[in-house]
Amino acid sequence: MIIVTGGAGFIGSNIVKGLNDSGETDILIVDRLGNADKWKNLSDLRFADYEHKDDFMNGLERGLFDHGVTAVLHMGACSSTTERDADYLMANNFACSRSLALRFGRQPHIRFIYASSAATYGDGSEGYSDEHSAAWGLKPLNIYGYSKQIFDLWALRTGFLNNAVGIKYFNVYGPNEYHKGDMRSVAIRAYSQAKKTGAIRLFKSYRPEYKDGEQQRDFIYVKDAVRVTLSFLEKPEVNGLFNAGTGNPRNFNDLASAVFSALGMEPRIEYIPMPGGLEKRYQYHTAADLNKLRSTGFDCSFTSLEDGVRDYVQNYLERLDLDDQ
| DSSP secondary structure of 64-128 | TTSSS--EEEE--S---TT---HHHHIIIIIIHHHHHHHHHTT-TTSEEEEEEEGGGGTTSTT--
Letter string b/e over residues 158-187, b meaning 16 or more CB atoms within 10 A of that residue's CB:
eebbebbbbbbbbbbbbbbbbbbeeebbbb
CB 204 within 8 A of CB 212: yes
- CATH code, domain carrying 98: 3.40.50.720
Q: Is residue 297, in this structure, part of any structural domain at all?
A: no
323 falls in which pLDDT band (50, 70, 90)? low
The pLDDT assigned to 325 comes to: 45
Residues 213 and 225 in one domain: no
Largest CA distance in the chain: 59
Give the total number of structural domains in the chain. 2
Domain containing residue 187: 176-218+249-284+304-324
- CATH code, domain carrying 308: 3.90.25.10
AA letter at 45: L
Q: Which of 46, 39, 45, 114 has its CA nearest to residue 76?
A: 114
The pLDDT assigned to 322 comes to: 62
Residues 259 and 123 in one domain: no
The pLDDT assigned to 324 comes to: 46
Residues 239 and 160 in one domain: yes
Looking from the CA of 112 toward its CB, the CA atoms found within 13 Å total 23
Average of per-residue pLDDT across 274-285 = 82
Whether the per-residue pLDDT at 161 is higher than 90: the answer is: yes
More confident residue, 260 or 276: 260
Residues 155 and 261 in one domain: no
CB 41 within 8 A of CB 9: yes
Tell how far CA 230 is from the center of its chain. 14
Q: pTM of the prediction?
A: 0.95
Q: Which of 302, 227, 313, 225 has its CA nearest to residue 265?
A: 313
Average of per-residue pLDDT across 262-289 = 91
Residues 21 and 136 in one domain: yes
- What is the overall mean pLDDT for the chain? 94
Residues 105 and 184 in one domain: no
40-51 pLDDT, tens digit per residue, is 999 999 999 999
Q: Which of 39, 56, 45 has its CA nearest to residue 19?
A: 45
Residues 50 and 146 in one domain: yes
Which active-site residues does the annotation give?
A: 144, 180
Q: Which residues contact 23 (CB under 8 A, 6 or more apart)?
A: none
Whether the per-residue pLDDT at 118 is higher than 60: the answer is: yes
Q: Which of 72, 31, 26 has its CA nearest to residue 49?
A: 26
Whether the per-residue pLDDT at 77 is higher than 60: the answer is: yes
Q: Is residue 18, in this structure, part of any structural domain at all?
A: yes
Strand partners, 3: 28, 72
Q: Is residue 294, in this structure, part of any structural domain at all?
A: no
**Residue 131: how many other CB atoms lie within 10 Å:** 12
Residues 10 and 155 in one domain: yes
Residues 71 and 47 in one domain: yes
Whether the per-residue pLDDT at 152 is higher than 60: the answer is: yes
